[in-house]
Homo-oligomer: A and B are copies of this chain.
Amino acid sequence: MARAALSPDAVVGLALRIVDEEGPDALTLAAVAGRAGVATPSLYKHVRNLAELRALVSERVMGELTEIASEAVLGRSGDEALRALMDGWRSYAARHPHRYSALIQAPRPETAEAGERLVGVILAALRAYGLEGSAAIHAVRCLRAAMHGFAVLESAGAFQLAEDLGESYALLAHMVVSGLRTPREP
């Protein structure tokens, strides 16, 4: 090894700070190099290219979200677990809106494993509802859609009116819960 304080992880860390402070569009290799006190091409010793850096950032964010979600679900079950998961998710997105929008949803090799762990946690949150096989998959998809949709819209500032967002989110949670409890198909 040589002298460096730099490493792939350190580069991702700097990238995250840029994303947080200036938004996902400000994430350029030039900007990262600037913060690292290094010439731009030097970064290629740590990261294949900008696309990979983005994927690594996304993976990191997904990991953080997984951790948050795990803690929320841990030691709870049923509606309580589900509400804790949803609240944790939203508050993460609200705390780091730029970071949240840097989350890449498209499945890339880099994020595949992180994505699966996250889905696993969501699945765990739903365990008490006694869903089997496909039913569990459908429920996970709906929960992801609801949480992600709300988080994206809230981060983007798409909810303009003055009404309390927490209350809107509580209604969303209520929809999920009652949808899981109420039998379908008349």
Do A105 and B171 contact each other (CB < 8 Å), given the known contacts A145-B150, A146-B149?
no
Residues of B within 8 A of A153 (CB): 105, 141, 144-145, 148
Please tell me if A159 contacts chain B, counting CB pairs below 8 Å: yes
New A-B contacts (4) at CB < 8 Å, excluding given A138-B171, A141-B165, A144-B149: A137-B163, A138-B167, A152-B152, A175-B180
Q: How many residues of A contact B (CB 8 A)?
A: 42
* Complex alpha-carbon distance, A172 and B149, angstroms: 12
Q: Contact residues of A with B, CB < 8 Å?
A: 105-107, 115, 134, 137-139, 141-142, 144-150, 152-153, 156-161, 163, 165, 167-168, 170-172, 174-182, 184
Q: List 28 A-B contacts (CB under 8 A).
A: A106-B157, A106-B158, A107-B157, A107-B160, A134-B163, A137-B163, A138-B163, A141-B153, A141-B163, A141-B168, A141-B171, A142-B146, A145-B146, A145-B149, A145-B150, A146-B146, A146-B149, A146-B175, A148-B152, A149-B152, A152-B152, A170-B184, A171-B179, A175-B175, A175-B179, A175-B180, A178-B179, A182-B182
* Complex alpha-carbon distance, A145 and B93, angstroms: 14
Copies in the complex: 2
* Complex alpha-carbon distance, A161 and B138, angstroms: 10
Do A142 and B106 contact each other (CB < 8 Å), given the known contacts A134-B163, A148-B152?
no
* Complex alpha-carbon distance, A81 and B50, angstroms: 45
Judge whether B182 and A159 touch: CB under 8 Å. no
Residues of B within 8 A of A142 (CB): 146, 150, 168, 171-172, 175
A163 and chain B: residue at smallest CB distance: B137
Judge whether B156 and A106 touch: CB under 8 Å. yes
Judge whether B137 and A161 touch: CB under 8 Å. yes
Residues of B within 8 A of A106 (CB): 156-158
